[in-house]
Every structure is written in structure tokens, then in C-alpha cells.
Amino acid sequence: MTDLQALWDKHSTREEQSKALQEKDLLRLHSNKNAPLAKLRKNIYINTGFAIVILIGFLGLLFYIDGFLFRLFTGILCVSYVAAILFNIYMVRNYLREPAPDQSLKEYLTKLLNNMNKAFRSVELIALMIYPIAMTAGFLLPLTLEGKIDLIYNEPVVQGILIACYIVLTPLCWYFAKYMNKVAFGKYLNQLEDILKDLNRQD
């Protein structure tokens, strides 16, 4: 009687074995599902989508509403939105790429986290300068529509309200944007940081 078990064992020991799975492969598996890298990319795309919609809105206003001052501030906003969209594309292409096969995962994650944190800090700081411009444009819109743009030059109460808006709303917008960034990106950056910490512990 043929011993099936012996033959099977003999064949099994000869079976091709794959190389062991590495941490890098895990990251790839992570990126297949709700992985931090994939989520970061997705949220940047969503952010870019919103920026494009808002930009289209601003461009519409720019074309349909006549008024030099309003157009100047809205124009600056349009330029800053275009810059933000381009920067998002740059981030996805340069920072959120998959690690190269010969790159160490630790080195890759360190670089990615540094770059992303720096990028978000810079964007937050630049946005701090954009908020007053956006508020001014918002302030100028009804004045321009009603043909009362002179009020901004001559009426101290109007100027006072605008300054009060700067003082109150700029920090609020800044904190809100920081909070939104934390919700959209912070969680996933923390997950990547945890992976990096784990890798450092293993060394």
C-alpha cells in the first residue's frame, strides 16, 4: 500500500517557500485598506476638491462683481487657493509616495512625518495671513453690491467693525483650521508615528 502521508511530507518539504514578510510589506498591506498613508492621501484629495470648488466660486465672484478693491482681495484669495491646490498635489506626489523597495522603512517614515508636519505648520502660518484678506473680501462684497464702497474709506464705524473682525475671527479661524487639520490628518500621522516608534523599539 502506498504511504500517502510519506509522499505528501516529502513533497511539502520541497515546496517553494516565499521570503519572509517584512514590515515594509505590512505597510503595503496597510495602504490597501484604511491605512494611514492611504487615508492621508484620500483626505488631501478631498481637501483639494473643496479648494477647487471654492476657487470656482471666487472666480465667479471675480468676474461678475465689479469693484477694484473687491477684485483685488478676491484675486489674492484665488492665487492663494491655486497655491494651496498645487501644494496639495506636491505633497501627495513627493511626500506620500510608497517607500522605494530598497529604502529603509524607518528612514522613509521619519522623512515622511518630518515633511508632513513641516508642511502643515507652514500652511497654518500662511493661512493666518490669508484669513484677514478673506474677511476683507467678505466685508467688501455687500458694500460693493450696494455701491457703498466709500464707507470703508470714510466711515470709522465700518473700519472699526472690520478691525474687530480681524481681531476676533483670525485666531478663531486659525484654531478651527488647526482642529480640522487634526481631524483630517492628525490621527493618521499619529498612526504612522506609532509604527515608527515601534520600529525604533525593535532596534
Residues 159, 166: Cα–Cα separation, whole Å: 11
3-state class (DSSP) for residue 149: coil
Cell of 127: 493661512
Position 187 contacts other proteins (CB under 8 A): no
* Count of residues of this chain found to bind other proteins when the rule CB under 8 A is applied: 29
CB of 118 to other proteins, least distance (A): 24
Nearer residue to other proteins within complex by CB, 108 or 131: 108
Question: Shortest gap between Cβ of 190 and other proteins (angstroms)?
Answer: 11
Per the structure block, which three cell numbers stand in for 12? Answer: 511539502
Q: What residues from 45 to 104 belong to the interface with other proteins (CB under 8 A)?
A: none
DSSP 23: H
Three cell numbers, residue 81 = 487657493
Site for other proteins in 4-43 (CB under 8 A): 4-5, 7-12, 14-18, 20-21, 23, 25-26, 29-30, 32-33
Select the span of 71-79, 85-93, 116-124, 194-202 touching other proteins (CB under 8 A). Answer: 194-202
Applying CB under 8 A, the residues found at the interface with other proteins are 1-2, 4-5, 7-12, 14-18, 20-21, 23, 25-26, 29-30, 32-33, 194-195, 197-198, 202
